[in-house]
Amino acid sequence: MNKFLTAAFIVVLILFASGELFAQATVPATVYMIKAKESIESVATKLLPRFKAKYGKRIEDFKRDLMEWNPHISTWDPIPMFSNIYVEYPYPVYISHKWAAPLQAETNYNVLNSDAETPIGTNKFTVFAMYTASAGTFQEQLTTQNGSIKSSQNSPLSLGAGTTIFLDKTDKMLSASGYWSSLRASKLSGSGIISKQIDAKDEIGLNTYYQQLSPWAGLSFYGGMDYEQFSTFNTTAYIAGADLAFNQNKLIYGTLGVGKTFFWDDQKILVKASLSTSLKSDTSSTNPIDKFTGQRLLFFTSIKGNSRFTYHLIYKRHMLDGPTKLTIDRIGAGIGFVVF
């Protein structure tokens, strides 16, 4: 009986150990991708706070481990561009680097400093949602007479959602997003005109971009299409004696932009800027001269820690020509959530 129990215990122990080894073998390794000029010193300094529990302030120990785990790196100052650096022990306990499987994006490693707003993981896409509150000012320079008109469109509630699809988890992706904004009532003022308040119409926007990481200072470039549907007052018609009303504008833009991801301790900071130019414009007005065309500037920044929440700021400026010379400035702040 004792022999049977001993044998059974040994079998269970072997199965448990095998399971542990298999689990270690199937957990994807975590790598840090070199996207700019960096050295072993800069990488260790940047990542040491993430592994504070293990290394404390012992940066030399961390550097020694990084060099031991990454024998495929031929030079450490500078490290070759787009190299993948293991930042934790990458191999199962029974396999050394010589026999380890090659790195395969989205298969057996995760990118610590991915440009996308996603938790570390092997997902080929991510889905996010966000809430934003914003304030918008409309400045119209009259073209048929001297004077300017001001109005505002403030939004206490903007809801958005989007997705990012990784074509290559390190540097290529497709993204798409959309938003809906509820606007407060607004009125015209300026050049001797003060109107009554009328309810503003909801605003919506859609976009789709292709993004590519460049070898220049870790910058990402992106381009694609934007669609915006927003309302403007029938200013010139109102001055001529018509009732105050909103015209709904529908603009399609071509967009080019640049972005960069920074890391500060455990926080990931994303900064983006883009310039859009109108390709097609339409208006709900019966008068075709009420169409607006022009450009839009957009600045966006977000910060994300170890949770799924993000916090963002956005600034948009429209510079449009139509029945008036229209400048729209909108600034907003909000919170987002990475669904998966």
Domain-wise residue ranges, the chain: 27-111, 125-338
Which distant-in-sequence residues (6+ apart) come within 8 Å of 266 by Cβ?
49, 50, 305, 306
Residue 65 pLDDT more than 70?
yes
DSSP run (H or E) holding 3: helix 2-26
Predicted local confidence at residue 7, as pLDDT: 53
Distance of alpha carbon 291 from alpha carbon 295, whole angstroms: 14
- Residue with tokens 């914003």, as numbered in its chain: 134
Q: Yes or no: say if 191 and 148 are a contact pair by the CB < 8 Å rule.
A: yes
In the chain, % of residues over pLDDT 90: 39
Angstrom distances, CA of residue 37 to CA of 21, 86, 140, 221, 283: 37, 17, 46, 18, 49
- pTM (whole model) above 0.75: no
Predicted local confidence at residue 91, as pLDDT: 59
Q: Which CATH code fits 125-338? A: 2.40.128.100
In the chain, % of residues over pLDDT 70: 79
Tokens linked to 8: 């059974």
Predicted local confidence at residue 239, as pLDDT: 82
Predicted local confidence at residue 71, as pLDDT: 84
Predicted local confidence at residue 329, as pLDDT: 97
Predicted local confidence at residue 160, as pLDDT: 97
Tens digit of pLDDT for each residue in 4-48?
445 554 544 444 344 433 333 444 567 787 777 788 898 888 888
Tens digit of pLDDT for each residue in 216-267?
777 889 999 999 999 998 888 888 888 888 999 999 999 999 998 887 766 8
Other beta carbons less than 10 A from residue 220's beta carbon:
21
Q: Yes or no: say if 71 and 99 are a contact pair by the CB < 8 Å rule.
A: no
